[in-house]
Amino acid sequence: MKAMKGQKAMTKGALLGELATATEMKKSDITKVLNTLTEIGTQEVKKSGKFVLPGLCMIKTRQKAKGLGWDLWRVFR
């Protein structure tokens, strides 16, 4: 799915505000939950290379193969 042109991504503050109004919780509580989720996601990606929020997204790390461009540059310099 492509991003829409001219649309800006939702900021962290805007996301916190929307979640606070939808759940009728304090914004500070939502901030703690979001920060904890960020920490857990970071740990999981570092540990297993994958983090899943069921029904929302999956974050995976990917190992790219080394390109030939750098090697060719070193040979011909």
- Mean pLDDT score, 7-27: 93
Query: What is the chain's mean pLDDT, rounded?
Result: 86
> How would residue 76 be classed by pLDDT, with cut points 50, 70 and 90?
low
Q: How confident is the model at residue 66 (pLDDT cuts 50, 70, 90)?
A: low
Instruction: Give the pLDDT score at 22.
Output: 96
Q: What is the pTM of this model?
A: 0.69
pLDDT in tens, 42-64: 999 999 999 999 999 999 988 77
Three-class HEC string of the chain: CCCCCCCCCCCHHHHHHHHHHHHCCCHHHHHHHHHHHHHHHHHHHHHHCEEEECCCEEEECCCCCCCHHHHHHHHCC
